[in-house]
Every structure is written in structure tokens, then in C-alpha cells.
Amino acid sequence: MSENKIRVAFIGCGGNARGHGRRIAAQPDAEIVGICDVSEAAIQGFRETVDLEARTPDFTDYNEMLAAVKPDAVEISTPHTLHFQQIMDSLDAGCHVLTEKPMVCTVEHAQKVIAKVKETGKHLMIGYQRHFSPTYMYCRNVVQSGELGKVHFVTAHQCQNWYRSQKGKWRQNPALSGGGQLNDSGSHLLDILLWILEARPKEVFAMMDYFDTQVDILTAMTIKFDTDALCNISVVGHTAGSMREDVTIWMEKGTLFVRDGKLYREEQGTGMMEVTEKQLPKGGEKDRAFLDLILGKVENAVDASNGLRVIQLTEAAWQSAKTGKTVEVEL
């Protein structure tokens, strides 16, 4: 680090990366030292959106960038199947890594990333921002404390106009996306449920509809966890409306309801009561958390193990939908 600043480079300069770029550029203890994308238009868009200094170099080959600017950290916002090699090369180059979701698209790659993190001693964090959301932090705290007893059933659904909005784009090209909506925005839903419950899927049954694409658009999934809790997940990628997401967690003494960002709690005889902002824990922001992780101020809130368990569940769902059979997940 130079001048007490963390030197950050970006692999991928699209819309998602620009949000990261604005947040990093606003931090007094960080500086952007290089950006990379295969698209000159994306590079220019990043420069304009982030208001990047003209002297900051840009590249079309990320390995050239890693060698030329020698960053302390890298943020990756590229098509999903590219993450694995970019993560491995960045770790080998001595960089800490913040990668967007999903971390990788196969269990084998996830295991190799975990081994590489251990080998290099560098940090890897995944951009699952719900880990820093007061709503979901509250849910995790309630479930893990046991104050409402054992979880016995969970339902979750996500709907999005994904089929139409991504038509002809890389997210519906399996060579770049690795899969459909379940592996894209659905990845957030799987991750947050696994994080809240801290339970491992034992059996998975799924049905999917691809419509006229090469990737899953609709997913109906049932899970039995190693805690004996049951779960239904619906990922609806063909809707006329905006994105919506609901989660319900039934426990022995009460229920938590997440409805379009609002949180409700119900116990015997209380009715459904909204959890107020004062009752929620303090949240955070993933780019700031990444910098604080590098500085040794915080623990890693979203490490490679989170990426592994998400792709384990995703792969099991794909296998079940393909075979029409329940898949037993190795615990």
C-alpha cells in the first residue's frame, strides 16, 4: 500500500462495477490504480461514471494490468464463468479479491478457490450484500440465538422480468453465465437463506423451465436440511412486473416475514408486528467491509465457503431438474 492507501484495480467495467467504483473512489484510504475490460465503451463509461482521473491506466487484458500496476486488491465484476480464472490469477498476483456473485459456477472450481485462498493467505470476499442488510442480519440473529426455537419450515420466492430483460445478452448464454436466473440473481436468495439458517441441504428436488433459452428461467425447488427443516424456493424469471423477493421463516415459537424489504415478526397471540428500524442491528456496505477486512479491522462476512455452499445447492438443483429425481447432497 502506498501513502497509506489500498491500491484497488477493477476487472470488468460494466454497470455493476461502476457502483463499486464510485464507492471505492469515495473512500479516503483507497485509490483506483487500474481498470480493465474487453470493451472500450465499458471502460469509457466507467471513467465517466466514477469520475476517474485521466492518468489512471486502463487495459483490455487483466493479467497485463496485474503485472503493470501491482494492485493490493482487485474487484471482479465480469460474466460469471470468467470469475474462476480471474480469481485464481489475482490471488497468485498477491491481491486480495472482492468478486461479484456467484463466486464460481462449479463445485470443483469453488474447492480450488478455497485451496488457493489458503495457499496465498489473501482475503477473498463475495459481493453478497444482504450479509450487510439490517433486515437479514436481524433474521440471522434471531434464528441463531434460538430465541424463537428451532426452524421447521422456510418459504422463499423471487420474481423478476429476467426472461425478457436478458434476452440476447450474456446472462442467457451458458458459456458466460453458467446457468439461468437461479445462478444469477437467484444466487442472492440461496446465499441469504443458507447464511440465516447455517444449515446444509441434505436432499434437493427441483423442476425447471427453460422456455426457448439455453438456461433456467423458472425454478421450483424443495429442500430438506440436515436440521430436518423443510424449505420451498421459487425463482420466477418470467414476470411482467418489477423484481420482488419474499422470505418466511417458521420457528417453534414464532415467525419472521420479509416482505419487499420490510420485516415482520409474529409470536403466539401478538399478531404480525413490523420490526422497527430501532430494533434492527447496524448494517454496512460491502466495499467498505472489503477494505476493512484488508486492514484487519473486521472478520470476513462473506468468504469462499459461502460461495461453495451456494454452488453446491445450485448444482444439486440442476441435477435434480435434469434427472427428475431427488438429489442427495454430500454433507
pLDDT of residue 202: 96
Q: Which residues have a Cβ under 8 Å from the Cβ of 173 and sit 6 or more positions away?
A: 214
User: What's the pLDDT tens digit per position in 277-323?
Assistant: 999 999 999 999 999 999 999 999 999 999 999 999 999 999 999 99
Measured between alpha carbons, how far is residue 1 from residues 20, 221, 226 in Å? 20, 46, 44
Confirm if 68 and 57 have CB atoms less than 8 A apart.
yes
Give the predicted TM-score (pTM) of the model.
0.96
Which own/partner contact pairs does 82-89 have at CB distance under 8 Å and 24+ positions apart?
82/176, 84/109, 84/112, 84/113, 86/11, 86/62, 87/113, 87/116, 87/124, 88/112, 88/113, 88/116, 89/62, 89/63
Domains with residue ranges and CATH for the chain: 6-129 (3.40.50.720), 130-282+303-328 (3.30.360.10)
Share of the chain above pLDDT 70, in %: 99
Confirm if 302 and 126 have CB atoms less than 8 A apart.
yes
pLDDT of 226 > 70? The answer is: yes
pLDDT of 269 > 60? The answer is: yes
Would the CA dihedral through 293, 298, 299, 300 be positive or negative?
negative
What span, in angstroms and rounded, lies between the C-alpha atoms of 283 and 80? 27
User: What's the pLDDT tens digit per position in 89-125?
Assistant: 999 999 999 999 999 999 999 999 999 999 999 999 9
Average pLDDT estimate for 190-200: 97
Instruction: Share the mean pLDDT of the chain.
Output: 97
Give the residue with greater pLDDT, 54 vs 251.
251
pLDDT band, residue 4 (cuts 50/70/90): confident
- The sheet carrying 6-11 orders its strands as 58-59, 30-36, 6-11, 73-76, 96-99, 124-126
Average pLDDT estimate for 139-148: 98
What span, in angstroms and rounded, lies between the C-alpha atoms of 44 and 58? 10
Q: What's the grid cell of residue 243?
A: 423484481
What span, in angstroms and rounded, lies between the C-alpha atoms of 105 and 270? 44
pLDDT of 53 > 90? The answer is: no
pLDDT of 2 > 80? The answer is: no
